[in-house]
Amino acid sequence: MTLLVAVLTVDAQDAQYQDIHYTVDENHLTAEVALNPKAGGEILIPQTIVVGQHSYTVIAIGDKAFKGCKSLTNIVLPRTIQRVYRSAFDGTGIMLDKTNWVDGCLWIDSILIATDKTIKPRFIVPEGTRLIAAGAFQGNKAIQRVELPTCISRIDHETFRDCKNLQKVVIPTTITSIGEDAFTGCGIYLNEKKWKKGAFIIDDCLIATNNDLPAKYIFKNKLPIRLIAERAFANRKNLKSVTIPETVTAIPTAAFYQCENLTDVIIPASVRSVGNFAFYNCPLLKNALLPRDLESLGAGVFYGCVNLKEQILSDKIEVLERALFFSCRGLKAITLPAHLKRIDAGVFAGCSNIESIELPPTLNYLGEQAFAGCATLRKIVIPAGINALPKQAFQGCTRLYRIDLPDGLYAIGDEALDGCLALEKINIPISTFRIGVRAFRNCQQLRGIALVNHIHMIEEEAFIECKMLEEVQLPASVQRLQSGAFAHCINLQKVTLNASLKHIEDGAFYNCRSLREVQWNDSLKTIGAEAFMDCKYLRTPVLAPAVEVGKNAFKNCR
């Protein structure tokens, strides 16, 4: 089965608050200022914005957010801002007004936004600077030496990119992360003498590697490496194993991205966080045991690591981010954190060899496609905190024969159990309101299903191709049976329509060729096209004249 998913896409949506456009992240309740090409005058960016029923913390000014806004003369940025893109203010009135520049630098609320050729060749970033924008020095040929202050914690991506004459950067120990391409193309980066055995290191920070890197890499340096930059080992095809030193506390975003031949990584107990996509698409990776005291684990960390064997997750982890173990086909055993609260979209999708997994009682959120394609998963108990089975949650779990749903579950989402070929029986909680589109499609062994009276919606093709289903009694709360709801249920013999059912849509019982008995009601108003077509043992009913009957509704019936 091919999983067609977009699990790496953040649950983001566009929003507007006080005439400013934002992109909000619904998972993390954060917001980023989006494109605002018509912004002008003086703008105040708040610490939080309210969209619908949620409050979002504003943490970033996005790429090209105010680019070209010549009438934008002033902006106030909140203390919650963690990232600013230099491009956000390109061509704005703020940038074009030279009175806003000091010694070759543009500042906004203690954030260094950009530099120009009038900057001093030897520049000391002043204490009190709270952020340096991504790309702030990019392409500046005047700069030769930069000393960073102890008040900042991050060098953002492309900060010093293509600064051809930059020969020295002093990085304080307060820096805890360095973005991708932060130094690519600058003078010090281009100096071959600064590279040792395929590694480029500044002030005990590993910035980048090249193809001279040994296949088995063990950090050896006069000063211990304390920090690895984002994408530092990305696409190193010759790399086979790495021993990370105990002085490192974080494996950053995409650190080992697409290292095609990487098989083993020794991660020390000192590591407290692993960033997004850290081992993305490392298909030969077998061993990369995470520390027991790990505190943070990003999205897609082991995405596509098809040979990863096992993993024990720290009890300090409360959220499994999206696509964490996507398509880890070799993963057979996984121990979940005792206090886990969320499993995001696609976390275990495509993990086709996981046979069993125990969800902790603290779990209160399950994302779309969380276990889709777990072909050997046999049974699972959904904790009481889950109030909806999400879209495609267990799609393609072909050996799943038992799933226990909690009291209080109000919906079974679209294609939630689609293709669960071995599922024989399911008890739907009395609280369930909706059964989604193709929710039980092709559940070929499903023999009995009790449709509780609280169900109001049985969506399109909800039980299509449930070949062993023999009897259906529609609950009293259903007034409309959607198209194809029980189509191709070839062993269905008896259907009882509730007294309140008014509409049977197109193809609802199409090709139910064993159907012999339907207990009709007097409230029916419409029967859709091909609704009972090819139900060859069903006698055409005598209906009230007011009932509208669609084309071929009873074609090939007795």
Q: In this predicted model, what pLDDT tens digit does every residue of 38-48 receive, in sequence order?
A: 999 999 999 99
Q: Is residue 451 part of a domain?
A: no
Does residue 302 sit in the same domain as residue 264? yes
Domain boundary residue among 178, 204, 231? 178
Domain boundary residue among 244, 277, 308? 308
Does residue 248 sit in the same domain as residue 281? yes
Position 2: which residue type?
T
Domain boundary residue among 308, 339, 372? 308
For residue 313, give both structure tokens: 């997750």
Q: Is residue 553 part of a domain?
A: no
Q: What is the pLDDT of residue 1?
A: 43
If you average pLDDT over residues 531-550, what whole number do you get?
91
pLDDT in tens, 263-285: 999 999 999 999 999 999 999 99
Does residue 69 sit in the same domain as residue 121? yes
Q: Is residue 491 part of a domain?
A: no
Q: What is the pLDDT of residue 10?
A: 53
Does residue 129 sit in the same domain as residue 94? yes
Quote the domain boundaries for residue 289.
195-308
Does residue 161 sit in the same domain as residue 126? yes
Q: Is residue 278 part of a domain?
A: yes
At 412, the pLDDT band (50, 70, 90 cuts) reads very high
Share of the chain above pLDDT 70, in %: 97
Does residue 143 sit in the same domain as residue 218? no
Does residue 31 sit in the same domain as residue 171? yes
427-442 core/surface letters (b: 16 or more CB in 10 A; e: else): ebeebbebbbbbbbbb
Share of the chain above pLDDT 90, in %: 88
If you average pLDDT over residues 352-376, what whole number do you get?
95
Contact 84, 107 (CB under 8 A): no
Domain count, the chain: 2
At 190, the pLDDT band (50, 70, 90 cuts) reads very high
Q: Is residue 187 part of a domain?
A: no
Q: What is the pLDDT of residue 4?
A: 47
Position 327: which residue type?
S
In whole numbers, what is the pLDDT of the chain averaged over residues? 93
Does residue 174 sit in the same domain as residue 61? yes
Q: Is the pTM of this model over 0.85?
A: yes
Q: What is the pLDDT of residue 347?
A: 97
Q: Is residue 427 part of a domain?
A: no
CATH number at residue 117: 3.80.10.10
Q: Is residue 60 part of a domain?
A: yes
Q: Is residue 512 part of a domain?
A: no
Does residue 228 sit in the same domain as residue 90? no
At 11, the pLDDT band (50, 70, 90 cuts) reads low
Lay out the sheet containing 434-435: strands in order across.
388-389, 411-412, 434-435, 457-458, 480-481, 503-504, 526-527, 548-549
At 221, the pLDDT band (50, 70, 90 cuts) reads low
If you average pLDDT over residues 363-371, what whole number do you get?
96
Does residue 43 sit in the same domain as residue 86? yes
Does residue 121 sit in the same domain as residue 267? no
pLDDT in tens, 461-520: 999 999 999 999 999 899 999 999 999 999 999 999 988 999 999 999 999 999 999 999
Q: What is the pLDDT of residue 222?
A: 63
Does residue 85 sit in the same domain as residue 156? yes
